[in-house]
Structure 1
Amino acid sequence: MIHATIECTGASPIGGKHGDMARWAEALATVARDIDSRFVEAGEALAGAYGIVERIVASLEAVSQALEGEAVTRAVADMHAIADRLTQLPSTQVTRQAALVTIGGSGTALRNPLARFDRTLRFLRICGLNIKVAAAGADGFGGFADMMIDRLDVAETEMRSFAMQLETVTRGVAAAQAAEQSLARESARVIPEVPRRLSRDALALQEEQASAGILANRIVDAAREVRGKIATAIGALQIGDITRQRLEHVVAGLVALQALAAPAPDETVQAHVLALLAAQATDTTADFEREAALLTQTLRDVGPHATALIALTGDRSPSASGSTPGDAPLELLEQSIDEVRALAGRLQEADAISDRIGSATLVTAEALAQRLLVIQRVTLDVQQMAWNTDLRSRPMGDAGRGLGAVALEIRNFSLELERFSADIAAMCGQITGAAQAMHAVQTGTTRVDVSHALDVSLQCVRDGGRIVREGLFGLEVEASELNDFVDQTARNIACDTAFGSVLASTSAALADAGSPIAALDEAPPELSVVLAQIAATYSMARERDVHQRFAMTPAEAMMPPTIGLAASDDDEDDDGLF
């Protein structure tokens, strides 16, 4: 913070018609120095205040940008999806467990018809050998028996593959049921409360951060308002530099007049120049008092906005414990996520197994259906061969009776194959239906990598919270410091009344001592010299306007405003804004 080092004092009023030009010059020079010192200090204070506002705006614009993006919204949406998935888990489990029971039960039930089917194939193979024996080398029957055995080999191969695939599925069902049971125990403990709390805490944090974003925007708007008024005040501080320059020019005029007055002053010339300097001092005083009053009002206008800014920043200032807004909702969300993790891990394990079992079962069911078609064709082929054997054995008389008996057995066994294959097909249909139901549950549910999604979402909201904390942290301190800067500036320029009093009394003393003379056809040479010297110091159009009123000849009245421009340019370069 900048403290005032110059007290609100000035030169004592100076009276007397003629006065003491040295004392007048010293009084005006002192006021010029005091104004310059105070306004430079005020400019530095306002520059510091402006820098604080710029930092506040930049910091909170980062908060707004971070919270207006889609990342936090998407993270919260993912958490809601996970919560919904977990909430629906019991009903999903009912469907999956029922499907697993069906698949496992049908797989077990298939063992009996498969075993009987295999035994029947072995009996048929024996029947084929019996045909060869009963035919006793008769033409065609040996080839017929070989063909039937070949077809039976195909059926046996298909059935072995069928049994192996079915065994793979049923083994997987046991693992899936174990995972589902573990998941059911975990879900019974935490559902529905934990998923609901996760969704609720995620929403609370989103609302908290959204509220922080709204507050950040309000603070930014207030800070921008303060920034605009401070910028206006900084511009208004130019009156200090303007007043200092004009007073220095009046002092320079007094010095020039003193030099002209020695050793024998021309009272008429002296009075005219003093009248000019009095007019410059009076005009300078009027401008200073008017602009200083406007500057004071501008600073007063900053006060309420700075106070409002402090109030807004105080709404989100760090607490005595060092915590910041958003910490509590974030901690609750982290606790909810920790509670969900164990359940989420078991859910993913069950999902993976169910996916694997469901997909494998569908593939196996399709393969089993194809194998059943092959077996059913073999069954028809065997039946056809039995009929052919019976027909061909009848004309053979007693020799054909044995073949007929074998053919009858083959027909009976083939009918058993047909019945067993129908039972197998029905059970395979149950397995396929269960696998499709499980697949429908899996594909109909929002599926995400729960652990990864939770990690990503939590990190996202943590980042958002960090940006909010960093953006809002310390704002109350900075806003208070801003207010101190503004107050300091107001105190630094609060002496305008005292300065005005000194300027007014000194201007009055100059006016009392001065007396403008009427225009002459030819002015005294020394007057023209001193007026030219004074005019050469001017750096402002207003000074030249006042000067024109004291021109002594028409030629001087037409004095171009470029007189003293070189000095003006240098002066302005040296004494720019603060």
Structure 2
Amino acid sequence: MSYQTQPTLPGHPQLTMIEEARSRLEQRFLDGGAVLLSVLDILNKMIASLDALTGSLDEETAAATMDELAATISVLSGMTARQADRQARLKDIALCERVLRPHVATMQETLRYLRTFAVTAKITGAGIADFAGFAEEILQRIQEGAQQVNNFSDRLAALGAGLGPVMAKGETTLARYGQQVPKIVDSLNGGITQIRSQRQDLAARASQVRSIARGIQGKLASTLSAMQIGDITRQRLEHCQSSFAILEDYLGSADADHLNADNRQKLTSLIRHLVANQLAQSRHDFDRDTTLIVETVSSFTSELAQIAAIQQAMTGEDDDRSAGAMRNLEAGVAEARRAVGEIELVARAAGEMTERTLSTVQALLEGIGVVQIVRGDIHYMALNTNLRCGKIGEEGRAINVVTAELRIFAGRLDEVADQILDELKGLQGTTEQLLADADGASAQPEGDTLDARLARAIDRIHAVADAMESDLERIAEEGQGGIRQMNAALLKLDFQADLGDTLRLCAEEFAIDGEDLSLEGLEEAIAVVGPQINRLYTMASERELHARILGTAAPVEPPLMVLSDDDLDDALF
């Protein structure tokens, strides 16, 4: 016969009290287990939300954003130096222009003298055959040379006139760079520091919450384990009910016919005493273990308060470490982008003016060939004049007086031309360096301007700020709501309320006071009833108490068999 059901026996109305205690105990612990599992679920959601938050500013996104800002800083930092170099080279060009100016004026003056002498030579040799045509050729060459030098002078004047605005604009640009670039660089450097700090702070705070949450999870696990006391106590109540059922069956069977009324009462009192002691021991164990459960659960309060405080700090609008910090960073980088946009406009304007200057300089460089031709022509004219005069003889002496002066001024022209060539070579070197600097500055890939870099950084920061705000909002909702749910749920875990008193009343109800509890005359009955009740037990403490009250030896627990690896292999395969 099975005694795992718990009938309410008419002869023992106290069993109704045990059944009520068993039912309430079972329901309370089922509810308690559900509460603890719900708390565990809330903690898991909280940790998942934290993982999402820390993932908002993941390492890859943070690194890409900081790289964009660092690259922008590098270019910005170089802009001031490049502008200063450009100004220095423009000053070198301006100095060269000022040095060239008197040389060109000397060349122009020399050419005027040469023209005068050529006209005089033409007049002097007017009567000499073939010389008039030759003199006319000289005049034409001098006139062409003068025109070329005048053109050179005009270009040089244009260079001088153009350099002024370019250099003035350059000084303004350099001054603006000096005022704005350091501020922008500091702002962007601060942004890099802020991103790094943001990641570290989020990670630190999330780690704090995870640590606390995992601590609670660990305690919850131990609490769930400790809640076995509910199942143990329920089983022991069932054993007590089944003990009376066994007694009733025995007293109603033929095996009990030999017992008189007194012995029947003694046997009933003895089993009742056994049940009372089992109930008392169960209540003691129940009180002990549930007290530990309640103490453990009570310790959650301070830990949940710590989580709430950390979450509040993470979602605080005025906190520099909240999502608002990312919005501030976004605004700061956007402001830097506007300033950089102005700087790039200024840089482009200065670059255009520089290109115009370079174009003028290039024309002067091309004029080197013109100066060389003029100088060659003068030497050619001087040589041919000497030859012609030698052939003419006595008639050429008058012309030789004029051509002597022509040769002198031709020599001066040669000297001035060499000086101009030397200066133009220096101008060429400076201009080529300026061109190289301009080409280097514009060599960045298409779409990789300062503005484009900052635009990409702003897009990333904006996306991160959006994600963080969403995650923080969810954390605020889930966190505060979850903590309220946990606090409310944990209040339901007072297992001692009602249950402890009910178990105590059950034990008191079955207590025997002043009755004969001797085993005399009951040996045969106990030999039948005792083993049946003993087979109900699942705990050693039950069997030990049973043996002490009914006078039987405590059962010997079989030794624990330790299986070898071979035994496990045989069992599994």
CA distance in 2, matches of 1:400, 1:51: 116
Helix, strand or coil at the partner of 2:324? coil
Count of matched residue pairs: 517
Determine the structure 2 residue equivalent to 1:531: 534
SS in 2 for 1:70: helix
1:428 and 1:263, CA in 2 relative to 1: closer, same or farther beyond 3 A?
A: closer
User: Which residue of structure 1 aligns with residue 303 of structure 2?
Assistant: 305
* Matched letter for residue 422 of structure 1: D
Q: Which moved more, 1:214-223 or 1:286-295?
A: 286-295
**2:485 equivalent to 1:485:** yes
Which of 421, 426, 429 does residue 425 from structure 1 map onto?
421
Q: 1:295 maps to what in 2?
A: 293
TM-score (norm 1): 0.65
User: In the alignment, what sits opposite 1:141?
Assistant: none
1:366–1:451 distance in 2 versus 1, CA, 3 Å? same
Letter in 1 for 2:242: A
What is the CA distance between 1:198 and its match in structure 2? Answer: 3.3
Aligned to 1:569: none
2:68 touches 2:456 (CA, 8 Å); kept in 1?
Answer: yes
Aligned to 1:435: 431
1:70 matched residue in structure 2: 63
Q: 1 CA distance for matches of 2:326 and 2:475?
A: 16
Partner residue in 1 for 2:243: 257
SS in 2 for 1:524: helix
Alignment partner of 2:221 out of 235, 247, 251: 235
Residue 527 of structure 1: CA displacement?
3.6
Partner amino acid for 2:431? A
Q: Could you say if the C-alpha distance between residues 175 and 379 of structure 1 is closer, same or farther in structure 2, counting changes exceeding 3 Å?
A: closer
Residues in 2 aligned to 1:89 and 1:548: alpha-carbon distance in whole angstroms: 96
1:450 paired residue number: 450
C-alpha contact (below 8 Å) 2:236/2:282 kept by paired residues: no
Q: How does 1:108-123 map to 2 (within 5 A)?
A: none
1:231: Cα distance to partner?
0.8
CA offsets 1:439-498 (integer angstroms, 9 cap, x no match): 698699999833334323433443454454445445444432343233123301124354
Asked if 1:42 is matched to 2:36, the reply is yes
Once residues 209 and 220 of structure 1 are traced to their aligned partners in structure 2, the CA distance between those partners, rounded to angstroms, is 16
Q: Distance in 2 between matches of 1:353 and 1:305?
A: 69
Tell whether the 8 Å contact from 1:53 to 1:226 is kept in structure 2 after alignment: no
Match of 2:21 among 24, 27, 30: 27
Q: Deviations over 1:67-101 (max 9, x none)?
A: 8x434444444555566567779866753653564
Q: Secondary structure at the match of 1:27?
A: helix
Shift of 1:40: 1.8
AA partner of residue 244 (structure 1) = G
Q: 1:342 to 1:411 in 2, by over 3 A?
A: same
Mapped contact 1:57–1:224 kept (Cα < 8 A): no
Structure 1 residues 183, 38: CA separation in 2 closer, same or farther (over 3 Å shift)? Answer: same
Q: Deviations over 1:208-258 (max 9, x none)?
A: 555544542342132022212221232123246513322332243244334
Gaps of 5+ in 2: 1-11, 257-263, 562-573
**Could you tell me whether the CA contact under 8 Å between 1:520 and 1:553 is conserved in 2?**
no
CA contact (8 A) 2:250 2:529 kept: no
1:388-407 map, 5 Å:
389=387
Contact 2:223 2:293 in 1 (8 A): yes
Deviates more, 1:40-49 or 1:165-174: 165-174
Structure 1 residues 417-436: Cα deviation after superposition (integer angstroms, max 9, x where no partner): 51342242144145236536
Q: Of 208, 225, 229, which residue of structure 1 is paired with 2:211?
A: 225
**Aligned partners of 1:516 and 1:176: how far apart in 2?**
128
Q: Distance in 2 between matches of 1:172 and 1:39?
A: 92
- Output the CA distance in 2 between the equivalents of 1:243 and 1:402: 143
Letter in 1 for 2:54: L
Alignment of 1:167-186 (within 5 A): none
Kindly state the Cα deviation for residue 505 of structure 1 after the two structures are TM-superposed: 3.7
Does structure 2 retain, via aligned residues, the 8 Å contact 1:76–1:457?
Answer: yes
Q: Is the 8 A contact 1:57 1:223 kept in 2?
A: no
Q: Aligned pair in 2 of structure 1 residues 172, 82: CA closer, same or farther (>3 Å)?
A: farther
**Paired residue type of 1:485:** Q
Structure 2 partner of 1:53? 47
Distance 1:118 1:473 in 2: 87
Which residue of structure 1 aligns with residue 411 of structure 2? 415
CA drift at 1:345: 1.3
Name the stretch that deviates more: 93-102 or 213-222: 93-102
By how many angstroms is 1:301 displaced? Answer: 3.3
Distance in 2 between the 1:401 and 1:207 partners?
A: 90
CA distance in 2, matches of 1:280, 1:122: 142
**Corresponding residue for residue 500 of structure 1:** 500
Q: Deviations over 1:152-173 (max 9, x none)?
A: 9xxx99x98x999999999798
Change (3 A) 1:468 1:239: closer
8 A contact 2:237–2:279 mirrored in 1: no
Q: Distance in 2 between matches of 1:550 and 1:214?
A: 63
1-side partners of 2:106 and 2:302: how far apart? 93
**Alpha-carbon offset, residue 107 of structure 1:** 8.1
Q: Deviations over 1:542-561 (max 9, x none)?
A: x2464366468779545689
1:98 aligns with one of 84, 91, 105:
91
State percent identity of aligned pairs: 11
Aligned partners of 1:474 and 1:337: how far apart in 2?
Answer: 32
Change (3 A) 1:119 1:289: farther
Q: Residue 357 of structure 1: CA displacement? A: 6.1
Q: Any unmatched runs of 5+ in structure 1?
A: 1-17, 137-144, 563-578
Worse-superposed segment, 395-404 or 422-431: 395-404
Comparing 259-268 with 477-486, which one deviates more in the overlay? Answer: 259-268
**CA-to-partner distance for each residue in 1:369-428, whole Å, 9 max, x for gaps?**
6x48975995798499659948xx869966997998998688557525513422421441
Give the TM-score normalised by structure 2.
0.66
Task: Judge conservation of contact 1:313–1:476 (CA < 8 Å) in 2.
Answer: yes
Closer, same or farther: CA 406–287 of 1 in aligned 2, 3 Å: farther
Matches within 5 A, 1:139-288: 194-195=180-181, 197-202=183-188, 205-206=191-192, 208-209=194-195, 212-239=198-225, 241-262=227-248, 265=251, 281-282=279-280, 284-288=282-286
**Counterparts of residues 464-483 of structure 1 (less than 5 Å):** 464-483=464-483
Partner of 2:346: 346
Report the equivalent of 1:324.
Answer: 324
Does the 8 Å CA contact 1:313/1:479 hold for their aligned counterparts?
yes
Q: Secondary structure at 2:315's aligned position in 1?
A: coil
Determine helix, strand or coil for the equivalent of 1:496: coil
Aligned partners of 1:285 and 1:503 also within 8 Å: yes
Give the superposed CA RMSD: 5.8
Give the drift of 1:310: 2.5
Q: CA 1:176–1:376 in structure 2 vs 1: closer, same or farther (change >3 Å)?
A: closer
Deviation at 1:176, TM superposition (A): 7.6
